[in-house]
């Protein structure tokens, strides 16, 4: 029985594939949806044992290794940091990870299970489809955590409101809004969760496998949940903005009233004295 182990990690929000490709002598301009694939010969000198290992690299910050270990991915990440120094800002590069296995059994039909799939023979598009879905899944893990942190910040502001306080300035509101817009953009444009890979258009069976794995990893459902949550947070942020502006408007009105009152008092005092 032949097996292929897939391990995916999200190491950053974005990878500069063109820069990395040039380092490995690959002279090609990568489009956003294209994948940089490093074969075992490219991994020589980076991994302790590079034989029969492959790494798929995605613009949206994910690495998917075939038949590699977490130690291999750590070694590769450390090597990539020398090429793209911005990557070194990620303290825990293995925080968002997932795995899957492909077993080849000639006496079995195609079966897709939670942690593995079985196929009667290895078709050339299997590894790429598995890598794409795994990469999108771990990228969504990162975005889900980021959105959750913003949601926690929103809850703290709501607690201030419950106490009759609204201590938030325009800069903080703008940052909250920009974070949410960034996550929405990352989900749709970076991770491309709504897009089918190009290979599904010209390889028979590729689309069916892609849809099965997408459903298995709840990609569409998780996207809808993120979309719903980000829209709710944006609505709440807009309410904060309105309240903050109204609060400042009220303060300004009181300041004007106080200034008018002071002017009247000064005028009266001049007449009296």
Based on DSSP, count helices (H) and strands (E) in the chain, helices before strands.
7, 7
Predicted confidence (pLDDT) at residue 251 exceeds the cutoff of 80: no
Domain residue ranges in the chain: 2-124, 130-272
Give the pLDDT score at 132: 96
Q: Which helix (H) or strand (E) holds 234?
A: helix 219-272
Range list of β-strands (E), 11-147: 36-38, 54-57, 62-66, 97-104, 111-112, 116-119
How many Cα neighbours within 13 Å face the side chain of 81?
13
Sheet holding 2-10, edge to edge: 36-38, 54-57, 62-66, 2-10, 97-104, 116-119, 111-112
Contacts of 30 (CB under 8 A, 6+ apart): 17, 18, 21, 36, 59
| Per-residue model confidence as pLDDT tens digits over 33-43 | 899 999 999 99
Higher pLDDT, 27 or 249: 27
Query: How far is residue 179's CA from residue 229's CA, in Å, rounded to a whole number?
Result: 13
Mean pLDDT of the chain: 82
Give the pLDDT score at 172: 64
| Per-residue model confidence as pLDDT tens digits over 190-234 | 667 778 888 888 888 899 999 999 999 999 899 888 888 877 777
pTM: 0.80
Give the pLDDT score at 267: 60
Predicted confidence (pLDDT) at residue 185 exceeds the cutoff of 70: no
């Amino acid at each position: 029985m032949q097996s292929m182990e897939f391990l995916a990690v999200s190491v950053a929000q974005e990878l500069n594939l063109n820069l990395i490709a040039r380092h490995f002598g690959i002279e090609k301009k990568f489009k956003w949806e294209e994948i940089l694939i490093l074969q075992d010969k490219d991994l020589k000198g980076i991994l302790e044992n590079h034989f029969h290992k492959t790494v798929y690299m995605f613009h949206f910050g994910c690495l998917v290794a075939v038949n590699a270990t977490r130690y291999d991915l750590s070694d590769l990440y450390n090597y990539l940091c020398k090429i793209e120094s911005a990557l070194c800002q990620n303290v825990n590069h293995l925080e968002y990870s997932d795995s899957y296995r492909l077993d080849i059994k000639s006496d079995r039909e195609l079966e897709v299970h939670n942690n593995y799939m079985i196929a009667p023979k290895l078709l050339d598009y299997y590894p790429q489809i598995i890598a794409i879905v795994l990469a999108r899944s771990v990228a969504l893990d990162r975005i889900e955590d980021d959105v959750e942190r913003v949601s926690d910040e929103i809850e703290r502001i709501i607690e201030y409101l419950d106490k009759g306080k609204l201590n938030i300035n325009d800069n903080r509101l703008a940052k909250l809004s920009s974070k949410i817009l960034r996550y929405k953009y990352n989900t749709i444009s970076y991770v491309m969760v709504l897009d089918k890979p190009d290979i599904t258009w010209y390889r028979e069976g590729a689309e069916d496998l892609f849809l099965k794995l997408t459903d298995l990893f709840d990609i569409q459902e998780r996207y809808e949940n993120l979309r719903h949550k980000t829209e709710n947070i944006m609505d709440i942020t807009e309410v904060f903005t309105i309240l903050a502006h109204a609060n400042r408007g009220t303060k300004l009105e009181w300041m004007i009233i106080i200034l008018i009152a002071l002017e009247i008092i000064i005028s009266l005092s001049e007449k009296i004295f």
